[in-house]
Amino acid sequence: MSWNKPGGDDKDPWSGRDEQNAPPDLDEAIRSLQKKLAGLFGNHSGGDGNGDNDSTGATGHGFSGGSAKGLAILVAGAIGLWAMSGFYIVDEGNHGVETRFGKYIATTQAGLNWHFPAPIEQVDIVNVKEQRFIEVGYRTVDRQSSEGGVAKEALMLTEDENIIDVRLAVQYQVKNAKQFLFNVVNPAATLMQVTESAERGVIGSNKMDFVLTEGRSEIVTRIKHEIQTVVDMYQMGIQITSVNLQDAQPPEQVQSAFEDAIKAREDKQRLINEAEAYANDVVPKARGAAARKIQEARGYKEQVIAQAEGEVSRFSQLLAEYKKAPDVTRQRLYLETMETVLSKTNTVMVDVKNNNVMYLPLDKLAHPAVTQESETLDTPATANATATLPATGAKSFPPIIRPSLRETADDRGRSDVREERARFVRDERGR
């Protein structure tokens, strides 16, 4: 049945929709809230919310009883919630610094802790295990690339009045959360200034070549020590863990000239190393040869000394024997000397008294080995001629060394020797 027909109760299908979508009445909501609060505080009086006289009298009467109890419950609940808000958790590696009205109270460790909630006390959580770092002379954009150097921080003067570009990275940790928060307003900025000051002081006390080449590790160690000394003096609560010298080079304007100087220095060092290698090869050999010569000279010296000492000893012994028997000793010395001299020659001694003519090849008989070798080399004709030589009447005499006609010191006073010498002279003249 349609709404506008008889019996349709005149219901407009759009009117209900308008009432449902209308916003709630604000006055009605306030009155509903007042009723709930009145019931909470013990106001159980009758009448509707518009009865001012009854409502006022009932409220004044109920506040002395049930309303006080409700208020106490509200206050207790609020205090409980406020006290519960004082619990806080400190994570591992962090420290909590409690302050009461801005004054330091205590430092709490990792775990569950409690403090008077705000506004009485506050807690600042400080990470003491985090590796923090600052950059001096450059700024890093991301891990893959870095921004150009900061000339104001990077350029500094060395001891020999040269300018170099130094870039430094400092890593540090918080070792005392209280000092880190309260002793310095801005720890990072203060540490930046301290680092730059220490860096300039260390670089300014060394020469450019030392900083750029072999002195890097020493420079880093000294800078770290200087920074830590100043930080401890300021009581900043910071521990310097590492100092890294990212780069140290001349300014870009003189970079090419400096590279040429480095190449020249490297060539110089290479030549020095080659010369030292050659010296290490030659010098030991020369020293060995010199030592060998010295040893040979010492050996020769000892040999000569030993021979001289032996001759002296032998002469001393002969002198003692000569004093005992001069004639016998003189004769023995003469014979030994002649034996020694004649044993080294091809001389054949002949008795001149008998005046025999020697036809035998005594020189060949004295050296049979040489004779056999020469016979194997001779031809048969030469051998026959040699064998028939005595039959033809040819005479061949071996070489004879005549005794000396000069009188020696040992022959003086011996008449038999003088007579024998005179007879030898006469026989030679008769020939």
- The domain spans of the chain are 87-127, 132-250, 346-430
Please state the rounded mean pLDDT for residues 31-36.
72
Which residues, at least 6 apart from 64, have a Cβ–Cβ distance to it below 8 Å?
Answer: none
Residues 6 or more apart in contact with residue 232 via CB below 8 angstroms: none
The per-residue b/e assignment along 22-44, b for 16 or more CB within 10 angstroms, e otherwise, is eeeeeeeeeeeeeeeebeebbbe
Structure confidence at residue 250 (pLDDT): 86
| pLDDT tens column, 3-26 | 555 555 555 555 555 445 555 566
Instruction: Please state, rounded to an integer, the average pLDDT across all residues of the chain.
Output: 76
Q: Which CA distances in Å does 431 have to 348, 400, 428?
A: 20, 15, 5
Task: Give the pLDDT score at 323.
Answer: 85
pLDDT in tens, 266-318: 899 999 999 999 999 999 999 999 999 999 999 999 999 999 999 899 888 88
- Given this model, what pLDDT does residue 140 score? 82
Integer CA distances (angstroms), 160 to 163, 205, 207, in order: 9, 9, 5
Q: Provide the pLDDT confidence category of residue 142 given band limits of 50, 70 and 90.
A: low
Q: Please say whether the beta carbons of 163 and 157 come within 8 A.
A: yes
In contact, 170 and 227? CB cutoff 8 Å: yes
CATH architecture group of domain 132-250: 2-Layer Sandwich (3.30)
Q: What is the CA radius of gyration of the chain?
A: 66
Q: What is the pLDDT of residue 162?
A: 87
State how far the Cα of 339 lies from the Cα of 331, in Å rounded to an integer.
12
Measured distance CA(348)–CA(366) in Å, rounded: 9
Q: List the one residue out of 227, 232, 153, 242 whose CA is nearest residue 195.
A: 227
pLDDT value at residue 198: 93
- Cα–Cα dist 345/278, whole Å: 55
